[in-house]
Structure 1
Amino acid sequence: MASAPSARGGSAPDAQRRIRRNRWLFTAPLVLLCFLGVVLVWEIVRGNLSEATRAHWPWRLQLMGAEPLASLLAVAAGAVLARAQYARTVRPALGWRAEFVAGHLPGPGKDWSVGVLNGGQHNVVVEHVDYRLTLARAPAAGQPGEDDGWTGLAGVGEQLVAAGLRPTVDFRLVGMGAGYPLVATGTYETVGVGVFSKRFLDEVRAFHMRIQVIDSVGDTHERIVQCLEGAREAVVAPVEEAHPVTHSVTTATPELPAARTEQRSDRPPA
């Protein structure tokens, strides 16, 4: 396939990020820790006042004794730190892999196949998947917003059909619904996202998939996959089947020595 300049339309950050934390497993311990910290400051200030001052309002208010306050503060701080450490341990490592493969779409050539994987140590569950399409013939525009142009599997399928691309011929998408588990296999085996023909690469400038997953502690992580990233680079171009070349073999025949001819004369020598 001829190499073409890599045109990235509608660029998006190609990196995993945490977009939401579980409010009960993260917010509640943190709020409790902040509350106990405020109580500690109050008791320290109140304990350094004179007896006469503590006899007046609001310094007469004793929120908590020193011993139970210290115990609760230690428990809350330990819960917050333990939760943060565990969340880092179970955090997924969302990645993607793409290459040219043969036999996934009709036709003799190779097609661009994209898959995602979870390289973390624990399983995650898919919460939401959507797509964003930018056609090659679309007028160049500014960088789209973070939430602009995203649609579901059915919506992007309608956009591709309207652009003249045929399902199962020019492209094939794999749907992943909510609740689908991305297993941490510890290998590089991927879950298919889609297969795209060379005509698809010519007609589409950029095709993004945004996948959101929930880990074991309830945090939501997001990864935007640039499905056509690298497909137009010469270093990953498919190795096409070479046409058989007929070699003409020329056999050199050695030249035979010329036959010597003798002339005889019947006349006697002079």
Structure 2
Amino acid sequence: MMVYSRRHRGDERNGLQKLISRSIFYVYFPLFILIFLAANFVWEVVRANVSQQALTSWPLRFTLLNPSTTAVLVGATATLLIGRMQWAHANRPALGFAIADEGFKFDPSSDMWHVWLYNAGPGIAQVEGLRYKVRFVNDSTSTPATLSEINHTLASRGLVDGDDYFIRWIGQGAPLAAAKNPAEGRRIASLSTAALAHIVELDIEITIIDGVGDRHRRNLLIIDSLPSIAKSAISQLRGERYGEGPSSCSSAVP
């Protein structure tokens, strides 16, 4: 299920990468051990401050680890956990995307726009899943859709798969290695101006898992992020097709 912020679509925070969960084995399990050891240390401190006679009765007679051993284990576990968090932050993948024409020329006459997904962070990532949400011209709201449903709708509007549009499916487990620039990443979509004129909103939600098991998510707002020259061409084409005046390509609905 795709979750969307209540912020306005124009708010750039809608597309920020978010950490959605930590690794159970590498974070929550050590954290549980740390809490358990800390509780045991407090318990041993309490036992050390009561009389010897009281220690002979239940529950004060219960002991698991002596205070010195517990303190050593608490320090070691805390150090490992903090080190793990620092390493994970330093090697966190950074999902980025770019929309450009062929050769990144941003030529006003360009008719095809490509969407590049890349990992600008130092750490490798694996794709856990992609989800789509789309709103076509004449639709009242955006709705979740599968890739095959999007392709079918575009084809039903007279567009040619491979010529007017191409959206790549990235399967679960696909790697996203570190890249220096968008062109070294993955091209996940190619859309002509004619195809874009049929789409009011297109969001791609991507979830990845990093090298230490943490899960990250980013929502790519494709139509909102188009270059201005592409938006102008789309508005002009819609004006010719539907008789609209100049308008934002993200809000024009005939």
- TM-score, normalisation: structure 2: 0.77
Shift of 1:233: 2.9
State whether residues 100 and 237 of structure 1, in contact with CA within 8 Å, keep that contact through their aligned partners in structure 2: no
2:97 partner SS: strand
Q: Deviations over 1:39-72 (max 9, x none)?
A: 1111111211122322221111122112211111
Counterpart of 2:118? 117
Counterpart of 2:137? 136
Identical-pair percentage: 27
> Counterparts in 2 of 1:149-160, with a 5 A limit?
149-160=143-154
Counterpart of 1:225? 220
Shift of 1:231: 2.5
Output the CA distance in 2 between the equivalents of 1:183 and 1:66.
46
> Counterparts in 2 of 1:87-106, with a 5 A limit?
87-101=88-102
Counterpart of 1:183? 177
State whether residues 117 and 182 of structure 2, in contact with CA within 8 Å, keep that contact through their aligned partners in structure 1: no
Counterpart of 1:192? 187
State whether residues 45 and 67 of structure 2, in contact with CA within 8 Å, keep that contact through their aligned partners in structure 1: no
Output the CA distance in 1 between the equivalents of 2:135 and 2:102.
24
1:20 corresponds to 2:21:
yes
Counterpart of 1:260? none
Output the CA distance in 1 between the equivalents of 2:232 and 2:38.
60
- TM-score, normalisation: structure 1: 0.73
State whether residues 8 and 205 of structure 1, in contact with CA within 8 Å, keep that contact through their aligned partners in structure 2: no
Counterpart of 1:41? 42
State whether residues 114 and 195 of structure 1, in contact with CA within 8 Å, keep that contact through their aligned partners in structure 2: yes
Gaps in structure 1 of 5+ consecutive residues: 1-6, 103-107, 239-270
Instruction: Name the aligned partner's letter for residue 211 of structure 2.
Output: S
Aligned length: 219
State whether residues 132 and 209 of structure 1, in contact with CA within 8 Å, keep that contact through their aligned partners in structure 2: yes
Shift of 1:8: 5.6
Output the CA distance in 1 between the equivalents of 2:60 and 2:115.
66
Which stretch shifts more, 50-59 or 152-161? Answer: 152-161
Q: 1:70 to 1:8 in 2, by over 3 A?
A: closer
Output the CA distance in 2 between the equivalents of 1:115 and 1:187.
10
**Which structure has the greater CA radius of gyration?**
1
Counterpart of 1:75? 76
State whether residues 137 and 200 of structure 2, in contact with CA within 8 Å, keep that contact through their aligned partners in structure 1: yes
Shift of 1:33: 0.3
Output the CA distance in 2 between the equivalents of 1:65 and 1:135.
67
Shift of 1:12: 8.9
Which stretch shifts more, 110-119 or 159-168? Answer: 159-168
2:224 partner SS: coil
Higher RCO (CA < 8 A, seq sep 6+): 1
CA root-mean-square deviation: 2.6
Which stretch shifts more, 187-196 or 210-219? Answer: 187-196
Q: Deviations over 1:102-154 (max 9, x none)?
A: 8xxxxx85222211110011221112122111112112x5xx7xxxx434322
Q: Give the counterpart of 2:210 among 209, 215, 223.
A: 215
State whether residues 127 and 209 of structure 2, in contact with CA within 8 Å, keep that contact through their aligned partners in structure 1: yes
Output the CA distance in 2 between the equivalents of 1:137 and 1:119.
37
1:133 partner SS: strand
Q: 1:235 to 1:227 in 2, by over 3 A?
A: closer
2:163 partner SS: coil
State whether residues 97 and 182 of structure 2, in contact with CA within 8 Å, keep that contact through their aligned partners in structure 1: no
Gaps in structure 2 of 5+ consecutive residues: 1-7, 104-108, 234-254
Instruction: Name the aligned partner's letter for residue 215 of structure 2.
Output: T
State whether residues 40 and 64 of structure 2, in contact with CA within 8 Å, keep that contact through their aligned partners in structure 1: yes
